[in-house]
Amino acid sequence: MEVLIVGAGAMGTWFGEAIADDPSIDAALTFADVDEDAAERAAETVGGTTADLEGTTTYEAVCVAVPMRHVEESIERHARRAERAVLDVTGVMATPLEAMAAYADDLERASLHPLFAPERAPGSIATVRAREGPVTDSLLSALESAGNRLVETTAEEHDWAMESVQAAAHAAILSFALAAERVPEGFQTPIYDELERLATYVTGGSPRVYADVQRTFDGADAVAEAARAIAEADDEAFESLYDEAAERWSAREGVDDGETDVQNASRSANGGERE
C-alpha cells in the first residue's frame, strides 16, 4: 500500500513506524513536510522516501499529521493526492472530518487521535470512521497489531472530552508550575510530589503543541474561574466548593471517614495532620 504522510514530526513518524512494522500491509511510505530535513529523517527511520509538498503524485492513502491549526488547509491541499483514503492524526476531529467531507467526499475517511506521546506508544487511539473501507480498515488493523487500542467515538464526543482531558488539565498543571515554588527537600507531600512530576513532564514538551491545544479547545477559562472562586471563598464557601468537587469525582466513595487514598497517605506523611 502506498501511503503519503503529510507532516514528518513525532506523530507522523510514529504513524509511519506503526504501519511499516505490519507485514500484512507491505506499506511504501512517503513523507512530505515544510522541513525537508525532517522528512528525510522520518523516511530514513521507516525505510521510506520523501516527496515535495507541491507534488502531484497520488497514493492509495494520505495521512495528515500536521499541527491542529494547519489541518484544514493541509487536507484541502493534499486530499487530491489520495486515490482511496484520507485520514488524520492531528488531535482534533470535527475540523479535519469536515474538511475531508468537503474535499474527499468520495473517499474512505477516518480521524485518529493517539492519546499518548509517541515515545509512550502503544496506547489508546480515539477513532472516528467517517467512511469505512478496506484501506482504512487495514491501516487501523495495523495500529491494533502494534498494541494500540482503538476507542471508537464521534467527533463531537472527542472534541468535548478534550476540553477536560487536554485544555483544562494542561491549564491547571501549567498554572501550578507558574504559581508554585520548588520547596526544600523534606517539605514535599504526596500531592505536591505528584503535581511536581506532572509539571516537569508538561514543561518538558513543545510549547507549540500545548498552545495549539489551548487555541483549539475551551477549558482553561473554567480552570481560572474555579481557582478564583477558591481563592476568594470564605470557610463556608470553600467547604461547598470542596463538596461539589468531591461529589463530581466520587472522591469519597468507598473510603472511610471521607478521605481518599491520597489524603490518607498525605495525612500519614504529615504526622497525622490533614494536608
Task: Express each pLDDT in 193-208 by its tens digit.
Answer: 999 999 999 999 899 9
Answer yes or no: do 90 and 191 share one domain.
no
33-66: pLDDT as tens digits: 999 999 999 999 999 999 999 999 999 999 999 9
User: How would residue 262 be classed by pLDDT, with cut points 50, 70 and 90?
Assistant: very low
User: How would residue 250 be classed by pLDDT, with cut points 50, 70 and 90?
Assistant: confident
Considering the chain, what is the average pLDDT of its residues? 91
Of 153, 177, 192, which closes a domain? 153
DSSP H or E run through 86: strand 82-88
The total domain count for the chain is 2
Query: Does the pLDDT of residue 273 top 70, yes or no?
Result: no
The dihedral sign for the CA sequence 202, 194, 167, 91: positive
Query: Does the pLDDT of residue 92 top 60, yes or no?
Result: yes
Give the integer Cα–Cα distance in Å for 77 and 167: 28
Higher pLDDT, 224 or 249: 224
Of 101, 123, 153, which closes a domain? 153
Task: List, edge to edge, every strand of the sheet that includes 82-88.
Answer: 49-50, 28-32, 2-6, 59-64, 82-88, 108-114, 124-131, 149-152
Residue 6 phi, psi dihedral angles, 5° rounding: -95, 105
Answer yes or no: do 79 and 146 share one domain.
yes
Answer yes or no: do 143 and 52 share one domain.
yes
Of 153, 175, 200, which closes a domain? 153
User: How would residue 253 be classed by pLDDT, with cut points 50, 70 and 90?
Assistant: low
- Considering only 119-123, 185-189, 251-255, which range has the smallest mean pLDDT? 251-255
Answer yes or no: do 131 and 172 share one domain.
no
Nearest partner of 159 among 220, 110, 112, 91, judged by Cα: 91
Answer yes or no: do 226 and 117 share one domain.
no
| pLDDT for 216 | 96
Does residue 44 belong to any structural domain of this protein? yes
Give the integer Cα–Cα distance in Å for 228 and 224: 6
Domain that holds residue 138: 2-153
Q: Are 202 and 176 in contact (CB under 8 A)?
A: no
- Considering only 123-132, 230-239, 250-259, which range has the smallest mean pLDDT? 250-259
- 3-state SS assignment for residue 28: strand
Over residues 78-83, mean pLDDT: 98
